[in-house]
Structure 1
Amino acid sequence: MNKAPISRFSTPEIADLPDDIRTRILTVQEKSGFVPNVFLVLARRPDEFRAFFTYYDALMDKPGNITKAEREMIVVTTSNANQCQYCVIAHGAILRIRAKNPLIADQVAINYRKADITDRQKAMLDYAMKVAFEAYAVNGADMGLLASHGFSEEDAWDIAAIAAFFGMSNRLANVTNMRPNDEFYTMGRS
């Protein structure tokens, strides 16, 4: 187990947190067996913690035409491009579990264009990458291409929102030097 600090910023003790945040963290710990470091790092600023996780839940835990595994593909792909170790490792673990595929996260993180995914998923990730790095250039042709793969206007919004939200998250994780929990590295691999 790695003993390096989880962040270059101080993190609060769980017992000292507001009740709602402490309850959420302990619920995650009970479900997963550990506390993901992102919870501890963001908990130092309770209002921002609440806002972050409210938006995260709205984007990542909703039903729809984009599966939860595909939502994680967006996170892993754009987070790798943003060089965010925490999000690639943590969301790679979630992707492996949600896709029930021990190889997919590594493939998507390294080069989604060569990954064993569908043409529809490649179009989704092409669009997510454009949003992440050239949002100013998104145009009607992008919407048309997504529509040709069965994505609705709402799906296009979701893909864009996930790429944008994790752009912010990637930057915070990098600035804080947030370390992935050791547990993430092996999750969903067997």
Structure 2
Amino acid sequence: MRINTVSLSAITLIMCGSSVSAQVTTFRGFRVEAKAGADRFQANGRHDDRFTYGGAAGWDGTIGEKIVIGPEVSYLKTNGRSCASGVRGGQVCTRTRREIGAAVRVGYLATPDFLIFTKGGYVNDHQRKTFTGDPAGGTGFDNRYGTDGYQLGGGAEYSFTRNVYVSAEYKYSNYHGHTSRQNLLGGFGLRF
């Protein structure tokens, strides 16, 4: 009985200490963010650079005084296209329209207002692959599909106030089917 009381007291003190330190930073709770930036879509041995935009939503919690962790979902819209020569004078093109993702973000609080983070998780990209046959009437195809993969990234976030922040991040996504994407994104977010 005495061991249970001591254990319960220790857990209570740790939880109180965590909640007190968590109140020092603004990096906790639910957040939504608008994102925009550069997109490099790679397929068929080539790449296409475009503008991309979208958003993310997540929840952040703190562990101790310096660690921030939480889930994040994201959406990016783009019109990337990569084409290469096919057989008999034909052309193979892969296009991308949108990417959705789910990741876990882990960060370190350099100051109470400045977070350095890394993230990793799942992505799905909506793609369209076409083949145009040779000019003499060769066959072709047009396939639309979703392809799964993984994402890795990192960046920084700065809180202006308790509810308003900006961010910058790099993200790499790799999809099945030998396609990939790199993003450099800036963001503006609200925390609730």
Aligning the two structures, in what range does the TM-score lie when normalised by the shorter sequence? under 0.3
Higher RCO (C-alpha 8 Å, min separation 6):
1
Bigger-Rg structure (1/2): 2
TM-score of the two chains, using structure 1 as the length reference:
0.20
Q: Which structure carries more helix by proportion?
A: 1
